[in-house]
Homo-oligomer: A and B are copies of this chain.
């Protein structure tokens, strides 16, 4: 039985505190979302599988008439988390439709290409801004804080790169019109 990386995200989040499936989803959206997303359609079935495998334990903890299941890590779950963390990472995938469009930019009219570059700059500036906001609102310390800092600085760097490139393309287009 091999566990998916998403299963390990759940184990990792339960390592710091007990949570419901709903809270796990919220934590993912606040933190790992930018490099590892997960939906309810994954989280709830995965919690069941992990419970069957003895890695997590759910206990009912209703609020009034509203049923609620809080999950916690078992000793086996903590061991599995440690094992996975020590093992080398495998998955690294990027799917960037913006880069794809830029790649085919030679098929574009110059103004459209400049617009595609501007969209790339904007997109990464926005991600950096959102991450920055999380940091200002008392973001995490330790390794989560380090990864957050990385996300901010990388997106700022990418945004600046395309900003420079956009300037250059704009200048070249202007020179061409002048000639």
* Chain A interfacial positions (CB closer than 8 Å to B): 5, 8-9, 12, 15-16, 31-32, 34-37, 81-82, 84-86, 88-108, 112-113, 116, 119, 123, 142-144, 146-147, 150, 153-154, 157-158, 161-162, 165
Point out the residues of chain B lying under 8 angstroms from A106, CB to CB.
16, 142-144
Q: How far is the CB of A145 from chain B (nearest CB, A)?
A: 10
Do residues B103 and A143 form an inter-chain contact, with CB atoms below 8 A?
A: yes
Chain B residue with Cβ nearest A94: B35
Do residues B108 and A86 form an inter-chain contact, with CB atoms below 8 A?
A: yes
Q: Tell me the interface secondary structure of chain A in the complex.
A: helix
Do residues B123 and A101 form an inter-chain contact, with CB atoms below 8 A?
A: no
Number of chain copies forming the complex: 2
16 contacts between A and B (CB under 8 A): A5-B97, A8-B100, A12-B104, A36-B99, A37-B93, A82-B108, A85-B105, A86-B108, A89-B97, A89-B98, A89-B116, A91-B97, A92-B96, A102-B147, A106-B143, A154-B157
Chain B residue with Cβ nearest A113: B143
Do residues A88 and B119 form an inter-chain contact, with CB atoms below 8 A?
A: yes
